[in-house]
Amino acid sequence: MREAPASAQLIEAFANTVDVELGTDELETASGLATWLVAQGLLDRNRRIGPDDHTLCLRLRTGIREELGINVGDTADAALLARADEALRELPVLISVRGGGGQDSRDGVLSPAPDLPPTRKALAHLAIAWSELALAGEAGRLKRCAEHSCAWVFWDVSKNRSRRWCSMRVCGNRAKARRHTAKQASATTRSATPQRAETLERPAAAEQTTSPEQTTGPEQATPSERTASARQEASSASRVTRT
């Protein structure tokens, strides 16, 4: 099991500031964004977020969530990705050389551009985390749950990166139940189509018949009985136990 690196943990927390299922958003307001950045250690408590920075941050988050949906097979909105790219261009970062050959030395370190104001520097750390994740080849493990009513972002620890839901027990079962219902409904529709045609033809045939015995035999169902039976079958097929 591979633990999520710090960059992935930051992006995961950032993406999950919006909860689709509960309908909540920690970053709905500029003050909410400031509170979150302070909690992440990216901004001083006495700093305020302006409306432009707030909008930029929301664009970045939306684009990242769209990108993470691609990792489970969803189609991303190109316009939302483009807006996120625009946001990233407003958060320039630098690669600085640090070294000396020591144990903690690194070939290059990403850091916010020095001329950025404090609030933009805080947001630039999100851009850095996203860049580090991509450069490490691990961005594919960070995913948005394929169950759209959930859409929670999670770190895929599976060996072959095949996980699609944040919880197989909850979201995976929801998806399976929905597929089962659709399959049963489709099968019921196909089997019911000849019955509907027969129901429409039956009254015309009955008008040409003069013998009551020919239309009310003991093994012959009436049109109303057929309709009731078809509705009962469709109703039974559509009931799926959800766990």
- pLDDT of amino acid 98: 62
pLDDT value at residue 96? 77
- What is the predicted pLDDT for the residue at 107? 60
Residue extents of the structural domains in the chain: 6-90+132-164, 167-204+220-243
Which two structure tokens, joined as six digits, stand for 102? 């020591």
The pLDDT, as a whole number, for residue 207 is: 45
Task: For the chain, report the end-to-end CA distance as a whole number of angstroms.
Answer: 27
Mean pLDDT in consecutive groups of 10 residues from the start of the chain, 243 residues? 88 98 97 98 96 98 97 96 96 77 60 95 97 91 95 94 88 76 69 54 46 43 39 36 32
What's the pLDDT score for residue 106? 55
- What pLDDT does 108 receive? 72
30-53 burial: b if 16+ Cβ within 10 Å, else e: beebbbbbeeeebbeeeeebeeeb
